[in-house]
Amino acid sequence: MASLMKSFVDVSPGSQFPIQNLPYGVFRPSAGASPRPGVAIGDSVVDLSVLSEAGLFKGPLLSSSSCFSQTSLNAFMALGRPAWKEARKTLQKLLSDGEPTLRDDHVLRSKAILPMNQVTMVMPAVIGDYTDFFSSKEHAVNCGTIFRGGKEDALPPNWVHVPIGYHGRASSVVISGTDIRRPRGQTSPPPGENAPEFKPSALLDFELEMAAFVGPGNELGKPVSVDEAADHIFGFVIMNDWSARDIQKWEYVPLGPFLGKSFGTTISPWIVTMEALDPFICDAPEQDPPALQYLTEKNRFTYDIPMQVAIRPKGESKASVISNTNFKYLYWTVCQQLAHHTVNGCNLNTGDLLASGTISGPVCMI
Amino acid sequence: MASLMKSFVDVSPGSQFPIQNLPYGVFRPSAGASPRPGVAIGDSVVDLSVLSEAGLFKGPLLSSSSCFSQTSLNAFMALGRPAWKEARKTLQKLLSDGEPTLRDDHVLRSKAILPMNQVTMVMPAVIGDYTDFFSSKEHAVNCGTIFRGGKEDALPPNWVHVPIGYHGRASSVVISGTDIRRPRGQTSPPPGENAPEFKPSALLDFELEMAAFVGPGNELGKPVSVDEAADHIFGFVIMNDWSARDIQKWEYVPLGPFLGKSFGTTISPWIVTMEALDPFICDAPEQDPPALQYLTEKNRFTYDIPMQVAIRPKGESKASVISNTNFKYLYWTVCQQLAHHTVNGCNLNTGDLLASGTISGPVCMI
């Protein structure tokens, strides 16, 4: 049973990174060293460029591939699910407690397995386009109430038919730990005034999301069907879609969010693969009214991923939990999002990021 | 006088590509050959990789640069205005009728100067992010009337203060001549129905725009002031922002255009530089109310560029002119757009595309 598999690498109980996970990221082993792909296990990082140079990826798809000698995961992500499965199988074998190849080769092991706190994580992929969806019904109702006033018509009439999304800013997607500067911008005229104000945002907010990295893309003019969509998804990161609500409120009519969100979007440096998430597959919410045919899944599923937000204000020693939610509540699945995104012929590229939209309602940090 | 400068390369009277223009593009000299940068002159293309390998860029900034051996213009665009001026000076000298270096070296000349109809143009740059602005007052009023109904409140109250823009889809930007497939998508429920339709768009439209390529970018968190903005702009292309109005109308509330525009955006393969446009500098429209301080230009200017749209339906031998307009009518200048885009700290990268928005009102091809 996979759940009993153990690694010779120390993994403390409760670690997010047991041998069953093995998320992918990109890191520098030391300052000035070139970035290379790695997987996380326990409090360690496995340098895939070292394993690849040592000839340890012996499967048919990876033995002669240079994808682990790149400075991003794009080349690996472009290879598709069979290569991802091959890599996972190889890595789980190499890292398992019964396998001597790496465990007992102390020179190779010390080169390939590094303490996570000694490496520097960088962006895992070159993101071409970043799309943010709006797939939580509760969040859509909350936003409607905040931005358009009144709970009655808070949910736009298209919402139950269209997996609403918009193009986000790819350049300002950064990994956890990167400083985000409070944005300045225009905000609505104060009561009784005509001219807007220009000031640092006074309504900086966060949004808890998950985001999927696209693996193989599709050609312009060739939609991906909803039942093929899963094969185009490499894995997920957690995302904080920083939002300046006062800037957003003044600018967003008629063309949507722009500077209220483009000053920074934070993702986790580790991408959890679809394979690692398999044990957490569960039913997705029933849809009423039924989705249009191109969005109707033969096998409708989502993932049971509990999520939590805690905030620790500067100077405080303790973080306060302010939100508990679950990815499984999202009304539109990632397969529906991807099929919708391409149904008009829009092409996705490897490394594109599809964010879920806020999972449950926003909590303003006013 | 620059206007009297002539080239030994044939340039027919009325050509868009005299020696005073020299727009940049990327081309393959033959099928299978690697793409390389070029400039257009008359009906010819000058292969910059050949000139560079021959050591003809002797200036301090370009003599040891590999920017003309790349498959895109990004490396050259990243160098900034001094390098662009150096390249222009070198090329105008090499191509002028009185200069023997290239003119009289028949071997080099036949390698470096190719008939335009024998080469294949490709995308001139790798576009990171593409932003579409909404800077024509007439277009904003027209859109308000089409999508929100009624001319009274057609112009949103923020429009005269905010250079409104939104993130467009970078992956589907293609060059002139690339086939665009009519998109399928959801459209509003027919009268008396609740469910939307799903069908090929019946309201395919175009939008005539200009778009600026970003040269040197800016760091996340470091805005570019409006008076420094021009140094970040390499040059302009013409753009057709294909739009499916029926898809757009149903999807665009509340987060803006998405699938109604992401199925294809066409740009010209040649980028006209700011240096080439210098003789066409003119006053920009006066702004009332005055722009906020961060958008107030010490030296406010735009470009006098007449633009025309003609359509030739399939089977017709003649094209009909359906629109005449001018870039100079845009209310917000490209410097104001760039300053606004970065004022919240958003980072621009070399190769990012900033489109003007439709210049004057849309004409629907219903």
Instruction: Record the tokens describing residue B149, joined without a space.
Output: 């109904």
Q: Mutating which of B167, B179, B294 best tests the A interface, going by the most A Cβ atoms within 10 A?
A: B167
Q: Which of B320, B332, B321, B319 is nearest to B359 (CA)?
A: B332
B348 touches chain A (CB under 8 A): yes
Nearest CA in chain B to A294: B198
pLDDT over threshold 90, residue B117:
yes
Nearest CA in chain A to B339: A185
Separation between Cα atoms, residue A199 and residue A186, nearest integer Å:
7
Concatenated DSSP letters for A75-127? HHHHT-HHHHHHHHHHHHHHHBTT-HHHHT-HHHHHHHEEEGGGSEEE-SS--
- Whether B340 is a known active-site residue: answer no
List of E strands, A110-244: 113-115, 120-122, 130-133, 165-168, 173-175, 184-187, 197-200, 204-205, 208-214, 233-240, 243-244
Smallest CA–CA distance, residue A274 to chain B, in Å, is: 24
Contact assessment for residue A24 and residue A70, using Cβ atoms and an 8 Å cutoff: no
Confidence of residue A360 (pLDDT cuts 50, 70, 90): confident
Smallest CA–CA distance, residue B353 to chain A, in Å, is: 12
Task: Please tell me what DSSP assigns to residue B261.
Answer: T
Phi and psi at residue B45, to the nearest 5°: -125, 135
Nearest CA in chain A to B346: A263
pLDDT at residue B15, as a whole number = 96
pLDDT at residue B140, as a whole number = 80
- With respect to CATH, is domain B2-122 assigned 1.10.10.10? no
Q: What is the pLDDT of residues A159-197, one digit of tens each?
A: 999 999 999 999 999 999 999 999 999 999 999 999 999
Separation between Cα atoms, residue A50 and residue A94, nearest integer Å:
13
Q: What angle do CA A158, A160, A165 make, to 5 degrees?
A: 65
DSSP, collapsed to helix, strand or coil, labels residue B341 as: helix
Q: Which of B228, B236, B184 is nearest to B211 (CA)?
A: B236
Separation between Cα atoms, residue B48 and residue A342, nearest integer Å:
37
Q: What is the pLDDT of residues A85-131, one digit of tens each?
A: 999 999 999 999 999 999 999 999 999 999 999 999 999 999 999 99
Please indicate whether, in this complex, the C-beta atoms of A167 and B166 are within 8 angstroms of each other.
Answer: yes
pLDDT at residue A153, as a whole number = 74
The partner residue sitting opposite B250, judged by closest CB among A158, A171, A255, is: A158
Q: What is the pLDDT of residues B17-50, one digit of tens each?
A: 999 999 999 999 999 999 999 999 999 999 999 9
pLDDT over threshold 90, residue A258:
yes
Q: Mutating which of B160, B172, B255, B353 best tests the A interface, going by the most A Cβ atoms within 10 A?
A: B255
Contacts with A259 from chain B: Cβ below 8 Å: 340-341, 343-344, 346
Rounded to the nearest angstrom, the gap between the alpha carbon of residue B286 and the centroid of all alpha carbons in its chain is 24
The partner residue sitting opposite A167, judged by closest CB among B185, B258, B293, is: B258
The partner residue sitting opposite B185, judged by closest CB among A144, A257, A344, is: A344
Contacts with A244 from chain B: Cβ below 8 Å: 344
Separation between Cα atoms, residue A233 and residue B136, nearest integer Å:
39
Please indicate whether, in this complex, the C-beta atoms of B264 and A171 are within 8 angstroms of each other.
Answer: no
A281 touches chain B (CB under 8 A): no
Exposed, middle or buried by CB within 10 Å (0-12, 13-18, 19+), for A24? buried
Please indicate whether, in this complex, the C-beta atoms of A255 and B253 are within 8 angstroms of each other.
Answer: no
Is A207 marked within a binding site?
yes
Q: Quickly tell me which residue has 């690339």 as its tokens.
A: B178
Contacts with A292 from chain B: Cβ below 8 Å: 186, 195-196, 198
Confidence of residue A145 (pLDDT cuts 50, 70, 90): confident
Please indicate whether, in this complex, the C-beta atoms of B251 and A128 are within 8 angstroms of each other.
Answer: no
| From A106, A139, A340, A341, the catalytic residue | A139
Rounded to the nearest angstrom, the gap between the alpha carbon of residue B144 and the centroid of all alpha carbons in its chain is 25
Please indicate whether, in this complex, the C-beta atoms of A184 and B220 are within 8 angstroms of each other.
Answer: no
Instruction: Record the tokens describing residue B91, joined without a space.
Output: 């090329």
Phi and psi at residue A265, to the nearest 5°: -140, 125
B280 touches chain A (CB under 8 A): no
DSSP, collapsed to helix, strand or coil, labels residue A144 as: helix
Phi-psi region of B342 (alpha: psi -120 to 50; beta: other; left: phi over 0): alpha
Q: What is the pLDDT of residues A206-256, one digit of tens each?
A: 999 999 999 999 999 999 999 999 999 999 999 999 999 999 999 998 888
Smallest CA–CA distance, residue B192 to chain A, in Å, is: 14
Please indicate whether, in this complex, the C-beta atoms of B186 and A158 are within 8 angstroms of each other.
Answer: yes
Separation between Cα atoms, residue A135 and residue A81, nearest integer Å:
25
- With respect to CATH, is domain B130-355 assigned 3.90.850.10? yes
Query: What is the reported pTM?
Result: 0.95
Q: Which of B93, B78, B134, B117 is nearest to B7 (CA)?
A: B93
Give the whole-number percent of chain B exceeding pLDDT 90.
Answer: 88
Domain extent listing, chain A:
2-122, 130-355
Separation between Cα atoms, residue A8 and residue A19, nearest integer Å:
10
A to B CB pairs, distance under 8 Å: 199
Confidence of residue B284 (pLDDT cuts 50, 70, 90): very high
Q: Which of B342, B251, B140 is nearest to A166 (CA)?
A: B251
Contacts with A217 from chain B: Cβ below 8 Å: 171
Q: What is the pLDDT of residues B64-109, one digit of tens each?
A: 999 999 999 999 999 999 999 999 999 999 999 999 999 999 999 9
A175 touches chain B (CB under 8 A): no
Contact assessment for residue B131 and residue B167, using Cβ atoms and an 8 Å cutoff: yes
pLDDT over threshold 80, residue A2:
no
Contacts with A148 from chain B: Cβ below 8 Å: 254
B143 touches chain A (CB under 8 A): yes
Nearest CA in chain B to A258: B166
Concatenated DSSP letters for B273-290? EHHHHGGGEEPPPP-SSP
Separation between Cα atoms, residue A262 and residue B361, nearest integer Å:
28
Q: Mutating which of A344, A353, A356 best tests the B interface, going by the most B Cβ atoms within 10 A?
A: A344
Give the whole-number percent of chain A exceeding pLDDT 90.
Answer: 88
pLDDT over threshold 90, residue A11:
yes
Confidence of residue B364 (pLDDT cuts 50, 70, 90): very low
pLDDT mean over B185-191 = 97
**H or E element at residue A53:** helix A48-53
Smallest CA–CA distance, residue A79 to chain B, in Å, is: 19
Smallest CA–CA distance, residue A144 to chain B, in Å, is: 8
Separation between Cα atoms, residue B34 and residue A124, nearest integer Å:
29
Report, in angstroms and rounded to the nearest whole number, the Rg of chain B calculated over CA atoms: 22
Contacts with A170 from chain B: Cβ below 8 Å: 128-129, 170
Separation between Cα atoms, residue B351 and residue B24, nearest integer Å:
13
Please indicate whether, in this complex, the C-beta atoms of B168 and A167 are within 8 angstroms of each other.
Answer: yes
Is A206 marked within a binding site?
no
Instruction: Record the tokens describing residue A123, joined without a space.
Output: 């962006």
The partner residue sitting opposite B161, judged by closest CB among A196, A223, A343, is: A196
Q: Quickly tell me which residue has 């909803």 as its tokens.
A: A226
Q: Which of B131, B171, B176, B133 is nearest to B270 (CA)?
A: B176
Query: Which residues of B are part of a known binding site for Ca(2+)?
Result: 132, 207, 209, 241
pLDDT at residue B151, as a whole number = 66
Please indicate whether, in this complex, the C-beta atoms of B171 and A258 are within 8 angstroms of each other.
Answer: no
Please indicate whether, in this complex, the C-beta atoms of B221 and A168 are within 8 angstroms of each other.
Answer: no
pLDDT over threshold 50, residue A1:
no
Please indicate whether, in this complex, the C-beta atoms of B161 and A186 are within 8 angstroms of each other.
Answer: yes
Give me chain A's average pLDDT, please. 94
pLDDT over threshold 70, residue B161:
yes
Confidence of residue A3 (pLDDT cuts 50, 70, 90): low
Q: Quickly tell me which residue has 């205005």 as its tokens.
A: B81
Report, in angstroms and rounded to the nearest whole number, the Rg of chain A calculated over CA atoms: 22
Q: What angle do CA B71, B170, B36 make, to 5 degrees?
A: 10
Please indicate whether, in this complex, the C-beta atoms of B253 and A158 are within 8 angstroms of each other.
Answer: yes
| From B106, B139, B167, B340, the catalytic residue | B139
Q: What is the pLDDT of residues A29-52, one digit of tens each?
A: 999 999 999 999 999 999 999 999
Q: What angle do CA B36, B16, B236 make, to 5 degrees?
A: 60
pLDDT at residue A365, as a whole number = 46
Nearest CA in chain A to B140: A254
pLDDT at residue A142, as a whole number = 76
Instruction: Record the tokens describing residue A26, joined without a space.
Output: 């990109």
The partner residue sitting opposite A258, judged by closest CB among B128, B166, B292, is: B166
B258 touches chain A (CB under 8 A): yes
Helix, strand, coil: what percent of chain A each, to 5?
Answer: 25, 25, 50
Please indicate whether, in this complex, the C-beta atoms of A252 and B254 are within 8 angstroms of each other.
Answer: yes
Q: What is the pLDDT of residues B231-272, one digit of tens each?
A: 999 999 999 999 999 999 999 988 889 999 999 999 999 999
